[in-house]
């Protein structure tokens, strides 16, 4: 554990933010248990009424939401800057693609990366998985306003 990754070993339900290659901030959610490094990198987010690729990569996610190191170790449900909210949309297992991680050199064959098959905000799709048409995408159909 280092000073920069200390929050990754902390209480689950907090943000872990770090700078990748000294350029982009990356947003993670700490999971599992204290004193055990476990987190989920937020690779993409669909933002309604914005360009579908606005937050289609870890650096673009933090840029779109103005996330910087000041978010590190904040609770994800008890802050007024950035939080997660429960969605009305619950994907079926067949709606989710599980694939290998990208942008790493070690353990790159482990399938620890998931995305919604119908999302057009995915930065890199699994081989053979085509970007859906706009009408059939979750970016269009699941988030229409009432």
Q: How many domains is the chain partitioned into structurally? A: 2
The mean pLDDT values, 10 residues at a time, for the chain of 146 residues are 91 94 94 92 85 87 95 90 81 87 82 81 75 60 40
Are residues 34 and 72 part of one domain?
Answer: yes
- Closest by Cα among 11, 46, 45 to 29: 11
How far is 114 from 91, CA to CA, in rounded Å?
12
Which pairing describes strands 39-41 and 24-30: parallel, antiparallel, or unpaired?
Answer: antiparallel
pLDDT of residue 68: 96
pLDDT of residue 114: 83
Give me the domain span that covers residue 32.
1-79
CA angle 91, 95, 97 (to 5 degrees): 120
Q: In this predicted structure, what is the pLDDT of residue 143? A: 42
Q: What is the distance between the alpha carbons of residues 133 and 14, in angstroms, rounded to a whole number?
A: 35
Q: The CATH number of the domain where 26 resides is what?
A: 3.10.300.10
- Note the pTM of the prediction, 2 decimals: 0.78
């Amino acid at each position: 554990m280092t000073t920069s990754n200390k929050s990754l070993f902390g209480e689950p339900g907090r943000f872990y933010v770090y700078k990748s290659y000294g350029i982009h901030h990356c947003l993670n959610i700490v999971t599992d248990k204290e004193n055990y490094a476990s987190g989920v990198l937020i690779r993409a987010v669909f933002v309604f009424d914005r360009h579908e690729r606005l937050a289609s990569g870890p650096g673009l996610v933090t840029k779109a939401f103005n996330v910087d190191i000041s978010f590190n170790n904040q609770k994800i449900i008890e802050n007024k800057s950035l939080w997660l909210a429960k969605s009305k949309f619950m994907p079926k297992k067949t709606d989710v693609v599980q694939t290998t991680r990208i942008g790493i050199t070690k353990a790159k064959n482990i399938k620890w990366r998931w995305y919604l098959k119908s999302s057009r905000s995915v930065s890199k799709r699994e081989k053979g998985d085509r970007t859906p048409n706009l009408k059939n995408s979750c970016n269009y159909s699941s988030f229409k306003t009432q």
